[in-house]
Amino acid sequence: MPLKEKPLLQRIRRAATRYRPGIGLGIGDDCAVLRLPRGHEALVTTDFSLEGVHFRRDWHPADAIGHRCLTRGLSDIAAMGGIPQAAFLSLALPADLPQKWVDQFISGLLKLADRYSVLLAGGDTAQSPGGIMADIVVLGSVPAGQAILRSGAKPGDLIYVTGNLGSLQEALTQLRSGKHLRPKSHLKHFYPEPRIAIGQFLREKKLASAMIDISDGLSTDLAHICEESGMGAVLYADALASIAETRSEQRLVSGHDFSRADTRSTQTRTLAPEHETALSDALHGGDEYELVFTASPNRRIPDRIAGIPITRVGEIVRGKNIKLVTKGKSKFLKPAGWEHFG
Amino acid sequence: MPLKEKPLLQRIRRAATRYRPGIGLGIGDDCAVLRLPRGHEALVTTDFSLEGVHFRRDWHPADAIGHRCLTRGLSDIAAMGGIPQAAFLSLALPADLPQKWVDQFISGLLKLADRYSVLLAGGDTAQSPGGIMADIVVLGSVPAGQAILRSGAKPGDLIYVTGNLGSLQEALTQLRSGKHLRPKSHLKHFYPEPRIAIGQFLREKKLASAMIDISDGLSTDLAHICEESGMGAVLYADALASIAETRSEQRLVSGHDFSRADTRSTQTRTLAPEHETALSDALHGGDEYELVFTASPNRRIPDRIAGIPITRVGEIVRGKNIKLVTKGKSKFLKPAGWEHFG
């Protein structure tokens, strides 16, 4: 049922009903009632955000956790080329959690919801026996028959990735070593942006044959496309290195630990071990919320969509395996599943 | 995202995709894609089922917990007069939970889903730091503008309840006293049936002006109708007693603890304290999944709908309060919220 009239969630209700009163009844009945655009199908996705697995209270500010919680759902809508419509939040909270934490969590979530005109339309609350557990459901829509599936990749299709990959691993490495990170200097880790506009552009222009978001790492998520399409794939190491290398540049730009970053940025281009790490991060690092999609070689894919660079990183082939090609030599690539912070 | 290809949920995926392949893609993409009937609005409801709060492993068999988990969502769809279409299950499970428990949980849930042609279309899984936590989302539909809301009650409308109330309190009292109950003898507690058919009948015949399900107890849930409609209500104690008294008869019929039940059943009709308890159970007992609805006095409400007795228990009046009328005397009734097993 929608958010109950418990003190904790009365504020959410007040905050949430500000949003898009036109599209539905929102909170306050047994169900939320939502009218989808005429001729659209419904998209539904549901994702847990669990303390100790997807976030840590000592690493992440509450508003960033709220933001990331909703990004998980919005990123799935983006991966179908969909339009997000409404979100439903189920929250299990420890009894001793400060009210301020909840307020900031909701604030971070609503700020992102507002930016994509998503109505917070319901949810549930309960006391958690362990840590904080949030389950986010996002309802979206897409013109009937036009959702971009995982299963549409064809032999010869080219493989593209949005943005950069692997840059989040640096933030994680530092967090794991006990370093405190300023969210403003690591926006992509603390406030990842779902690629909604890119997904919709690809769907409207009928450019992509298959798509998925990279929440579990490129090697794992590309394997899902291959599996559902009954295909194999070839990835080019040099193309991946080119979007992985920006990792060091980002660190440079961020101003964090400036002098050492500068040195390492140069090293990344010359030292093989650094290269290896960057490539591995790009292949297997998760928590990215970038998109990987395939497109027929007949389609012209722009260099940038909605301001984000699009990079060709491989192609779809017949077969069952994913191969990584480095300087003409190819080796089999095993999907190395992303394990979050657990 | 839909159920991931983790070993635990591969079986769910195989089991789930048997259901209604026509209405959607189901499991296996970033989102489930679902086509709602033409001219329908979407209904969405989300409900936690938490170990120690909504169920106990030592009281409830796993398949009953799966059944009850889905009933919570279906009952919300019923309360809007809706047609359930698809369910999404997010499960956080302790690492040491036996596989058999999960299998039986899913089996109980799918059996109920099958009976109402509901597709299990997605979900998420995670390891729980505490007990078992399930979050069920049900997507339903209703012809546009025809959802039965909480806000439609008018002065003079009559108040009706489906089935019997308070009978579950007996099961709870026994469970709390450490008694083992056979599920077959207490079907309504272990396998409550959502009133889907009644909700749809009332909506199709345009009989109900407002409706809610009684998951939190009649006094609490009727108060929600009053609040959303800006109305007060009067309840008749004798009418409530008539549907509460079947509590003892049910016990008699069930064959459980037959001799004592027989004696008590007679006593219920003569002793005032027993009457008081039965009335209190009917007013405040939760976990019922019956419906309470209001209807204009001009509408003829059948004595039974889909085989379930319908009883008039009061009427809507101007004002803000709910009053209980006993032998011509009325007193104010405070909503006494249902606290589950916590």
pLDDT of residue A272: 57
Average pLDDT over chain A reads: 83
User: What single-letter amino acid sits at A74?
Assistant: L
Would you call A121 an interface residue with chain B, using a CB distance cutoff of 8 Å?
A: yes
pLDDT over threshold 70, residue A16? no
How far apart (Å, rounded) are the C-alpha atoms in residues A73 and A57?
Answer: 21
Mean pLDDT of A296-314: 97
pLDDT of residue B262: 33
pLDDT over threshold 50, residue A303? yes
Which DSSP category does A236 fall into? E
pLDDT digits (tens, 9 = 90+) for A236-276: 999 998 888 554 444 433 332 222 333 333 333 333 566 77
- A5/B224 touch (CB, cutoff 8 Å), yes or no: yes
Residue A249, Cβ neighbours under 10 Å: how many?
14
3-state SS class at A189 = helix
Nearest chain B Cα distance for residue A161, angstroms? 16
Mean pLDDT of B129-150: 93
pLDDT of residue A18: 42
pLDDT of residue B309: 97
Nearest chain B Cα distance for residue A71, angstroms? 12
Nearest chain B Cα distance for residue A285, angstroms? 18
pLDDT of residue B22: 42
Instruction: Give the closest of B31, B215, B224 to A80, CB-based.
Output: B31
Residues of chain B with Cβ-Cβ distance to A148 below 8 Å are none
A222-to-A217, A219, A259, A279 alpha-carbon distances in Å = 8, 5, 36, 16
A180: its two tokens = 């405190």
Q: How many CB pairs under 8 A join A and B?
A: 204
pLDDT over threshold 50, residue B252? no
Nearest chain A Cα distance for residue B77, angstroms? 7
Q: Which of B189, B213, B232 is nearest to B322 (CA)?
A: B232
How far apart (Å, rounded) are the C-alpha atoms in residues A341 and A51?
Answer: 9
- pTM of this prediction? 0.86
Q: What is the DSSP string of B10-29?
A: HHHHHHHTTS-TTTB--SSS
Instruction: Give the closest of B41, B52, B137 to A46, CB-based.
Output: B137
pLDDT of residue B25: 52
pLDDT over threshold 60, residue B32? yes
Q: Cβ neighbours of residue B273 under 8 Å, at least 6 residues apart?
A: none
Residue B58, Cβ neighbours under 10 Å: how many?
8
Residues of chain A with Cβ-Cβ distance to B137 below 8 Å are 44, 46, 88, 137
3-state SS class at B131 = coil
Would you call B221 an interface residue with chain A, using a CB distance cutoff of 8 Å?
A: no
Q: Is the distance from CB of B136 to CB of B49 less than 8 angstroms?
A: yes
User: What single-letter amino acid sits at A294?
Assistant: T
Would you call B339 an interface residue with chain A, using a CB distance cutoff of 8 Å?
A: no
pLDDT band at B168 (very low <50, low <70, confident <90, very high): confident
Give the pairing type, strands B322-326 and B232-236. Answer: parallel
pLDDT band at A286 (very low <50, low <70, confident <90, very high): confident
pLDDT band at B20 (very low <50, low <70, confident <90, very high): very low
Would you call B267 an interface residue with chain A, using a CB distance cutoff of 8 Å?
A: no
Largest CA distance in chain A: 63
How far apart (Å, rounded) are the C-alpha atoms in residues B218 and B339?
Answer: 13
pLDDT of residue A263: 34
- B34/A47 touch (CB, cutoff 8 Å), yes or no: no
Q: Which of A30, A90, A214, A290 to mutate to test the interface with B (most CBs of B within 10 A)?
A: A30
A322: its two tokens = 């994913």
Q: Is the distance from CB of B285 to CB of B189 less than 8 angstroms?
A: no
pLDDT of residue A3: 44
How far apart (Å, rounded) are the C-alpha atoms in residues A43 and B287?
Answer: 31
pLDDT digits (tens, 9 = 90+) for A314-324: 999 999 999 99
Mean pLDDT of A65-84: 97
pLDDT band at B166 (very low <50, low <70, confident <90, very high): confident
Helix B62-78, helix B99-115: angle, nearest 10: 30
How far apart (Å, rounded) are the C-alpha atoms in residues B91 and B9?
Answer: 10
Residue A304, Cβ neighbours under 10 Å: how many?
10
B290: its two tokens = 């019956």
Give the pairing type, strands B83-93 and B133-143. Answer: antiparallel
Mean pLDDT of B222-242: 94
Q: Is the distance from CB of B95 to CB of B55 less than 8 angstroms?
A: no
pLDDT of residue A274: 67
Which residues between 126 and 155 in chain A have a beta carbon less than 8 angstroms from any beta carbon of chain B?
Answer: 126-131, 133, 135, 137, 139-140, 142, 144, 147, 149-151
- B42/A42 touch (CB, cutoff 8 Å), yes or no: yes
Q: Cβ neighbours of residue A185 under 8 Å, at least 6 residues apart?
A: A254, A255, A256
Residues of chain B with Cβ-Cβ distance to A149 below 8 Å are 25, 29
User: What single-letter amino acid sits at B166?
Assistant: G
pLDDT over threshold 90, residue A194? yes
A268-to-A60, A63, A169 alpha-carbon distances in Å = 28, 33, 15
Nearest chain B Cα distance for residue A210, angstroms? 10
pLDDT digits (tens, 9 = 90+) for A98-134: 999 999 999 999 999 999 999 888 888 888 877 899 9
